[in-house]
Chain A
Amino acid sequence: MTTASDAGQRPWLSRLRGSNNEGILALTILVLCVGVGVVEPSFWSVRTMLNVASNSMTNVIFAMGVLIVIISGGIDVSFMAIGIFCGYSVIVLTNETGFGASSAPVGFVLAAVIGVALGVLNAAAIAGLHLPTLIVTLGTQGIIRGAMLAYVGSKVIPDYPEGLDKLSTNYLVTATGTSSTRLSVLIVPAVLICVLVSLLLRYTMVGRGIYAVGGDAESARRAGFPVVGIQFFIYLFAGLLAGVAGLIHVTRVRLANPYELVGGELDVIAAVVLGGASIFGGKGSVSGTVLGVVLISLIRNSLILLGVPGSWQRAAVGLLLIVGVGAQALSARSRRTSADLVAEGAPA
C-alpha cells in the first residue's frame, strides 16, 4: 500500500499531488489557513491576503532566480547582495545624475542591466572556471556587498527620484479597516515574471536545457546542449531577476537601506526547496516555488497573528526547512524502494 502504487491505480490522485509534491504543499497551506482561522477568526480577511501577497512579492522574484539555479544543480547565495546592490545603486545613480528620474521603467531597465553585469561574475567563475557554485556565490556575495558599501554608498537614502516615488505610492487594491492595508501595483510585474519563467522552463530549448544540465551535465553535453552557454544564461538571468527584485523591494519600502536584504537568503532558498526543487538539480517547478514562498510568508504572518513573539520566526523557518527537506528525502527513499519492487516483478 505505498503511495506510488496508490497513485498508479488512481492517476487523478497523482495528478493532484503534482510532480514536485505541489499538491501536498497546497494542502499544507490549506490546513494551516483553516487551523489558524479557527484559533484566530480575524485571520480570514482580505487584509491577511493582501499582507501575504505584499510580503511574498519580492521574495517570489528572487525565488525564480534561485529556482533556475537550483534546477541546474547549483546553489546561489549571492542574489540578495545583487538585489540590494541594484536597487540601491539605481536610487543613488538617478538621484545624482537625474538620468531617467521621471520615469520608473528606466530605473528598472537600469537595475536589470546592473544585475546582468553582476551575474557575469558568477557565470564566469562557475561556467568558465568550473568552481563549486556555493563557494563562488559566497565569494561574490562578499565582493558585491563590499563594493556597494565601499564605492556606491553606505547611507540610508529616504529621497527618491520622481518616477520611482510615484510608483511606490501606486496601489492596486486598498482594503480599509481599522488600519488600511494596501497592495502595491508592483505585484503585477512579480506575477508576470513568474508566468514568464514558467513558460521559459516549460516551452523553450534553454528551459529544457536547464533541466538537462541539472539532471546530468555530461549527458546534456552529449545530447548536444551547449552546457557552458546554458550556465552563462542561468547566472545572467538570475542576476537580472535579482536586480529587478532588488529595485522592487527598495521602491516598495520607500527607504533605500544598503544594509538590508543580505542575510535573508535562507528564507528564499528554503521556499524553493520546500517547493519541491531538488538540490541535486533536474527537478523543480514555478508553481511549487510560488507555493513555498506563500507558505513561509503565511507562517510568519500567522505567528504574529497568534501572538507568538517575533523571535520565534527564525527558529520556525529553520524547523520548516528541516522538516520539509527531511520529508522529501524520506519519500524519495520510499519511492525508490517501491520502484525496486516493481523492477523485481513484485505485485505492484
Chain B
Amino acid sequence: MSDGAGRTGVSDPTARLVQRMLVERGVVRLASIALVVLVIFSLASGNFFSIINFQSMGFQVAEIGLLSLAIALTMLTGGIDLSIVSIANIAAIVTAQLFMSAGSGTASGSSSVVMTVGFIAVGVAAGTACGALNGLLITRLRITPILATLGTLQLLNGVAIVWTGGRAIYGMPESFLNIGTGFVAGVPAPVVVLLLAAVGTAVFVNRTGMGLRIKLVGANPTAARYSGLNNDRVLMRTYLMSAFLSSLAGILIAARSASANADYGASYVLLAIVIVVLGGVNPMGGSGTVTGVVLSAFVLQMVASGFNMVGFNSFLYQIAQGVILIGVLGLSTITQRYDLRSALRMRSGRDVDGAPSEQLPAALGPPVPPREREHEQ
C-alpha cells in the first residue's frame, strides 16, 4: 500500500526506496503501537484477550472505520468533511423509513432480501446525493470545505430532525439487521464490510488516475491546475466518495442498533479526525495511506474497549482522544522539522542548528496554514 512511490515521479531507485520506507515506517510504527496497546490491555484485564471481546470490538470499529476513511479522502485533497455523521444518519433514516412504510417487518424469504438490497441502495444513493451538495458548495460557490460541511452538517441534521420528529425509526426485517449483527465465518459482518470498503478505497487511491489526482490536488492545487487537472471535478468526486462511505457507515449503524435516529453518533466527528491523523494522513493534504487509517481505527477501538474494561469512564477516553490527536500531530511536526533541517545541512554543508528559528528560510519557518492556498485565484 505504499502510495509514496509514483507520486513525485522519482527516477532514482534509491530515492524511491527511501520514500517507500518512509511510508512503510508510518505503517510499521502504527502496527507496533497496536501491538503495545494489545499487550498492555491484555495484561491489565483478563477479559481483554478473548474472542468475545475481539468480536464486540469488531462490531464497533466498522462504522467509525468507514467514517474515518470518508474524512481521510477529503483530507487527502487538503479539505475536510465535517458532515459525515449527518450524511450517515440521512442514509440510515431513508432506508429505515422505506422499510417502515413498506411494512416489511413481516416479509420473508427472497422477496425480503431483494427489498433489503433495494432499500439500502436507495439509502446510500440519498446519502451520496448529500455529498453532491457538499461538492457543489465547494466547487461552484467556492466555499471553504470547513464552512461548507459545517453548514451541511447542521442543515442535514436539521432536516433529519424535522423528518423524524426527533424520534427513532424501528421496524427493519431480520435480513437487514443481519448486516449489523451477523457473522461471516466467525468474523462480524460489519468488519467484512469495512475491509471490503477499505480495499476498494485503497485500490481507488493507489491504483487509479483519480486517486493520484486527488493527492496531487491536495499536495498543491495551483500546480495541479497548471498541470491540466480539473480540480473541481476531482473535488466533486472526492466529496461524493466521502458521502458514499459515510452512507455505508449509516447503514451499518442502523443495522447494528436496529433503529435510525437523527442524533446518532454526534461524537464520531472528533473520533474520526483523531483516527485519520493518527493514521498518518496529512491534514494539509497530499499524503496518507488507507492501511494507516484502518490500523489506527483498530488501535483506538482497542483503547476504548481497554479503558472500558479497566474501569476508566468514558470521559477519560474523551481526554485520551484529544491528547492522542495533538500529541501525534505535534510529534510528527517536530520530527519532520528536524528531518528537514538535517537534510538542509547535508546539502548546503552549513550548520543551521545554531540559527534562531526566525532566521530560517520560508520553507522551514512556521508553516502558515496553507488553507489560503486552496482557493487562491
Contacts and interface: CB of A to CB of B under 8 A. Distances in A.
A312 B166 CA distance: 11
A196 interface: no
Nearest to B372: A280
A317 B369 contact: no
B67 to A, nearest CB: 15
B80 interface: yes
Contacts of B326: 125, 131, 135-136, 139-140, 143
Interface in A53-87: 73-75
A321 B152 CA distance: 9
Interface string B83-106: 000000000000000000000000
A32 B335 CA distance: 54
Interface in A245-293: 263, 266, 269-270, 273, 279-281
Given A146-B318, A146-B322, A336-B377, A311 B161 contact: yes
A218 B369 contact: no
A130 B333 contact: yes
A261 to B, nearest CB: 14
Interface in A305-320: 309, 311-319
A131 B154 contact: no
A132 B369 contact: yes
B302 interface: no
A169 B358 CA distance: 53
A227 B358 CA distance: 10
Contacts, number: 166
B292 to A, nearest CB: 16
A143, A318, A333 pick with most chain B CB within 10 angstroms: A318
B319 A142 contact: yes
B154 A266 contact: yes
B270 A138 contact: yes
A329 B141 CA distance: 6
A150 B315 contact: yes
Contact of A313 (B158, B330, B333): B158
Contacts of A166: none
B203 interface: no
Contacts of A125: 326, 330
A141 interface: yes
Interface size class of A (residues with CB under 8 A): 35 or more
Contact of A315 (B154, B319, B333): B154
A39 to B, nearest CB: 21
B241 to A, nearest CB: 21
B82 to A, nearest CB: 9
B154 A314 contact: yes
Contact of B157 (A144, A146, A270, A314): A314
B155 to A, nearest CB: 3
B147 interface: yes
B182 interface: no
A343 interface: no
A322 B155 contact: yes
Contacts of A281: 372
Given A75-B146, A129-B333, A321-B150, A142 B318 contact: yes
Main SS of chain A's interface residues?
helix
Contacts of A316: 158
A321 B274 CA distance: 26
Nearest to B136: A326
A309 to B, nearest CB: 7
Nearest to A213: B368
B371 interface: yes
A145 B162 contact: no
B345 interface: no
Interface in B281-298: 283-284
B155 A132 contact: no
Contact of A135 (B158, B315, B325): B325
Contact of A150 (B150, B316, B325): B316
B265 interface: no
Given A74-B369, A135-B329, A150-B316, A141 B322 contact: yes
Given A263-B266, A329-B141, A132 B283 contact: yes
16 contacts: A132-B329, A135-B273, A138-B270, A139-B322, A143-B322, A146-B315, A150-B313, A221-B365, A266-B153, A270-B154, A279-B371, A318-B155, A322-B155, A325-B147, A325-B148, A330-B141
Given A135-B277, A269-B150, 13 more contacts: A135-B283, A139-B323, A140-B322, A218-B365, A270-B154, A281-B372, A311-B158, A313-B158, A315-B155, A318-B151, A318-B153, A319-B158, A325-B141
